[in-house]
Chains A and B, each alone.
Chain A
Amino acid sequence: MKAVCLASAMTVVLLLLVTLAFRLRPGKHRVRQMLILYLACTVALLGVWLATPDDLGVLPPSLLPTPRWFDLLLGFFFFTAAFFGGVLQLYNLADRGFSLRILIDALEDPTGTIGPDQLMSRYGGGQGIGWMYDKRVQGLLEEGFAQRRDDSLVLSAKGARVADMFIRVRGFLNLDPI
């Protein structure tokens, strides 16, 4: 149970640190910032786990019978899941979520409504739908999945491998071929 308590507390600390980093050191490489903070917090989690008693001074005996080594592994597992499935996903959705941005555009519209014409020209708080796709293209270029040649985008070897994997997965799941 110590694992649950410490991993939860460290997730709150991580959220606070991410917030501070985003507000005080804004930059383009936010995912890298988050990963560095996650690694630092993982080390801190290990330190806190080693430095505290099994009952944390408050846990009742009924919540203690977990092997120590297993409790530590659980702590890492819960914290890692909270980061990759929670904090990082929250960031991805807030920064890259296409559907969520449509809902926010509707929220910000004085009429409280949205339409396809308006989204084409003013999606993303006035940027337009081309801007949304600019970000995707930029991401593919920055992550090394593709290169730009003249007026075309060309998959790199890494991009081709990833695309092949998704083609196989989509084929297995009987999804529409794109």
Chain B
Amino acid sequence: MMGWPPAIIAFVAAVAWFAVFVLVHILGWRAGLGHARWLLITYLASLLATLASVIALAASAASAILPVILALMTSACLFVIYVPAVYTVLTSLSVQSMVLMRRRGSALSLPELYGRFASRAIVEDRLATLTSSGYLAREGERFRLTSRGRTLARAFAFVKAWWRLGAGG
């Protein structure tokens, strides 16, 4: 491996440490740590390990610049592909609908599906998740946007308007 070009070493190191991150993340998930904080902590640890490996393998500080950039880019690219897959498993209502149908003999009546997935319980569950994630703050029976939630809502409202996506959601 020492004879490999630094760019390839950086790529391999980023992929290897990302694989370690996925393994640790999934093990934590199985142990009940399936929340966003666990995802971020394990990913940041793998990113630091990637950087440490690439810098340690570089011949000099100057020659480490390109490998560091490539390793960071590689790791970030793998992360943005991995995260949507995680959230599809965790939160997709379409996936949950198909799973429920499969468990009930591959078919369900529409009233039952709507009763389950277009229900007040689903709304309350999502409001609770948004509150625990710091995007909403509870005020009696209602929920107010936090500054973090307002920033995110404004950003996506802009994207929806810019791309003319309509109401969406």
Residues of A within 8 A of B (CB): 1, 4, 18-19, 22-23, 26, 62-67, 70-71, 74, 77-78, 81-82, 84-86, 89-104, 106-108, 111-116, 119-120, 123-127, 129-130, 132-133, 135-137, 139-140, 145-146, 149, 151-155, 159-160, 162-164, 166-167, 169-170, 172-175, 177-178
State whether A136 touches B97 (Cβ < 8 A).
yes
State whether B101 touches A153 (Cβ < 8 A).
yes
Task: List residues of chain A with CB within 8 A of the CB of B154.
Answer: 107
Lowest 7 A-B CB distances belong to which pairs?
A101-B169, A85-B80, A81-B77, A163-B102, A133-B118, A103-B153, A66-B7
- When C-beta atoms are compared, the residue in chain A nearest to B98 turns out to be A163
Q: How far is the CB of B25 from chain A (nearest CB, A)?
A: 10
CB-CB under 8 A for A166 and B98, given A84-B81, A97-B156: yes
CB-CB under 8 A for A173 and B99, given A95-B165, A113-B142: no
A135 to B111, CA, bound (A): 15
> What are 15 sample pairs from A and B whose C-beta atoms fall under 8 A apart?
A23-B164, A65-B66, A81-B81, A95-B169, A98-B169, A101-B169, A107-B150, A114-B142, A115-B142, A124-B169, A129-B119, A133-B114, A152-B109, A159-B101, A163-B101
What string of 1s and 0s marks CB contacts (under 8 Å) between B109-152 and chain A? 11101100111101110110110000110010111110001101
A139 to B69, CA, bound (A): 39
B37-45, B47-55, B87-95 - interface stretch: B87-95
A74 to B124, CA, bound (A): 44
Give the interface centre of A65, A119, A162, A178 by most chain B CB atoms within 10 Å. Answer: A178
CB-CB under 8 A for A177 and B153, given A85-B80, A90-B159: no
How many B residues touch A, CB cutoff 8 Å? 83
Task: List residues of chain B with CB within 8 A of the CB of A77.
Answer: 74, 77
CB-CB under 8 A for A170 and B89, given A106-B144, A139-B94: yes
Interface residues of chain A: helix, strand, loop or mixed (majority): helix
CB-CB under 8 A for A145 and B159, given A1-B66, A92-B84, A96-B168: no
Q: How far is the CB of B77 from chain A (nearest CB, A)?
A: 3
Q: How far is the CB of B100 from chain A (nearest CB, A)?
A: 5
Q: Does B73 sit within 8 A of A, measured CB to CB? A: yes
State whether A136 touches B169 (Cβ < 8 A).
no
State whether A96 touches B169 (Cβ < 8 A).
yes
State whether A71 touches B168 (Cβ < 8 A).
no
State whether A82 touches B77 (Cβ < 8 A).
yes
State whether B117 touches A136 (Cβ < 8 A).
yes
Partner of A119, one of B34, B69, B123: B123
Q: Does B78 sit within 8 A of A, measured CB to CB? A: yes
Q: How far is the CB of A41 from chain B (nearest CB, A)?
A: 16
Known contacts A102-B126, A114-B142; can you find 12 more A-B pairs with CB under 8 A? A66-B7, A66-B66, A66-B70, A98-B91, A101-B168, A102-B123, A113-B139, A119-B123, A136-B94, A154-B106, A173-B26, A174-B29
